Amino acid sequence: MKNMKTPQGLQDMLSFPLMEALLGRRSRRFFMGSEIPDGVFAYKSSKEPLALTDLEKMLIVSACGGNTSWHHMIYRAARYAPHLSNYAGSAGGRVFPSAAGFHTSQTFFTDDEGVYVLEMRDAPAFDERADDGSLCLEAFVTNVKKHVRKIQDGRLKLPSEVPYTEPHNTWVFNKPSTLVVIPVGDLSQHVLLNICYMLQNGLVLYDDINKCPVPGIAQFGDIVNVDTVWPITFVEQWSLSELTVELGTSCYAGALMLQAMGLGGWMFNGIDPFAMLGAGGKPEVPGLGFRYDTDDRWPYPNPTGLEGVMEGYCPPHHQDMRAAVDALCERKFGLGGPFHPKTPGPWKKSRKVRSAAQAHDERFRECVSFQAQYIYDTFGKFPGTVPSMFLIMYLQAHHLDLDFYNKFYKAGSYLKTHAMHLASWHPDE
């Protein structure tokens, strides 16, 4: 890798079998320099903490959020054939799947030096695939490194103590030398995209909380049967579930990479999500620093975005929901978007393919924003019943202290890659 010393462990990683990663995946929490102060596993490491190298960090972050060339799109939808399905939000693909190609999440991470964002959500393909379908690992990781932006100095300021961290993780989470990957999803954008999806498939929202149709929705009877409805709570919970899969598979891809590299760590939740985003209410615990609002109608604060980094598709980051819809359409149909004729792609005739999508016209945008604005006006935020920004899963990576496992476990508690990691990746340590 350019500007990165290439260790023998990298070659070993490239030949590591997928089945061994699947069968060998375990949460391995005890790292060099850590301590369990009491109980049946009481143990204090005799080793100094060892931070991940730049290469190790970039490989893990790449596994969690890297670009994997062009998204292949969804080909056909019966209701508006022969137009190309136009659900996707991004022209590029990433290492994890996303519902209908929405790709509404961003990858954050922290180490001893700072807090960072990987700005990969709307990045174009970093390279074309070779004839055998392969991509260059060096270019893949180098592309990730180019898209990393530091947003805070020093390790993420979220204490590994109750109530910010669940009791079973206080001894291990976010400690010196560890890498923590934090995928964050824009649920406001995801719900908007699902309202678009619904409208294209003949559905409009119904307010099941207040037991009424969206007032005035009948005016759109020229483009949709307004009696065919989905409840607001269902759509928002469905969107939450879809986004959870996106965030979880991002971390799972990183967890498999840990096995191939011989690093310890695990994927988990158990962190106060509001404090992580910055809505913990204490200046000394800023988390990621997202803006948030409170309202007596809501059971929790509502994070909406981080200015200039990841801004929600809702007020206050947009003037109103119509402005948010227009911004969403620009992401999809504007220059560089998945449905702009000039955006390259994996097809022999990319211009022809991308031009086959039907853009959301003025009437369509009016209907989507009308429903979205109703939610915002009724509940004081968008979405109305779930957070605007959402996170749930994390991945931590660190160097194992094998002495702990040798003391307490039978042989086989770690893989050959773990046994050989220091010699393969840190021959000078």
For the segment 248-259, what is each residue's pLDDT rounded down to a tens digit? 999 999 999 999
**pLDDT score, position 16:** 96
Distance CA 285, CA 337 (A): 37
Is the model's pLDDT at 79 over the cut of 90? no
Helix or strand or coil: residue 242? helix
Percent of the chain beyond pLDDT 90? 96
> Which tokens belong to 44?
């204090």
Is the model's pLDDT at 3 over the cut of 50? no
3-state secondary structure labels for all residues of 60-75: HHHHHHCEEEECCCCC
Average pLDDT, the chain: 96
Percent of the chain beyond pLDDT 70? 99
H and E: helices and strands count for the chain: 12, 17
Residue type, 408: F
**pLDDT score, position 1:** 36
Distance CA 304, CA 310 (A): 9
Is the model's pLDDT at 9 over the cut of 70? yes
Instruction: For residues 241-267, give the mean pLDDT.
Output: 98
Cβ partners under 8 Å of residue 242, min gap 6? 99, 102, 190, 194
Lowest mean pLDDT among 2-11, 190-199, 230-239: 2-11
Instruction: For residues 272-277, give the mean pLDDT.
Output: 97
Instruction: For residues 193-221, give the mean pLDDT.
Output: 97
Split at pLDDT 50, 70, 90, the class of 4 is low
**pLDDT score, position 96:** 97
Surface-to-core class of residue 227, CB atoms within 10 Å of its CB (0-12 exposed, 13-18 middle, 19+ buried):
exposed
C-alpha dihedral over 374, 380, 382, 387, to 10 degrees?
-150
**pLDDT score, position 5:** 65
Instruction: For residues 404-425, give the mean pLDDT.
Output: 97
Q: Is CATH 3.40.109.10 correct for 8-425?
A: yes
Give the CB-side neighbour count of residue 168, counting CA atoms within 13 A: 5
- Owner of token pair 């202290």: 401
> Which tokens belong to 270?
């158990």
Residue 150 parent element (H or E) = strand 148-153
Is the model's pLDDT at 2 over the cut of 80? no
Instruction: For residues 53-57, give the mean pLDDT.
Output: 97
Strand partners, 106: 184
Ramachandran bin of 100, using left for φ above 0, alpha for ψ from -120 to 50, beta for the remaining angles: left
Domain ranges of the chain: 8-425
Q: pLDDT tens, 358-405? A: 999 999 999 999 999 999 999 999 999 999 999 999 999 999 999 999
Is the model's pLDDT at 121 over the cut of 60? yes
Q: pLDDT tens, 139-194? A: 999 999 999 999 999 999 999 999 999 999 999 999 999 999 999 999 999 999 99
**pLDDT score, position 6:** 81
Is the model's pLDDT at 85 over the cut of 60? yes
Surface-to-core class of residue 129, CB atoms within 10 Å of its CB (0-12 exposed, 13-18 middle, 19+ buried):
middle
Cβ partners under 8 Å of residue 260, min gap 6? 13, 16, 21, 417
Split at pLDDT 50, 70, 90, the class of 78 is confident
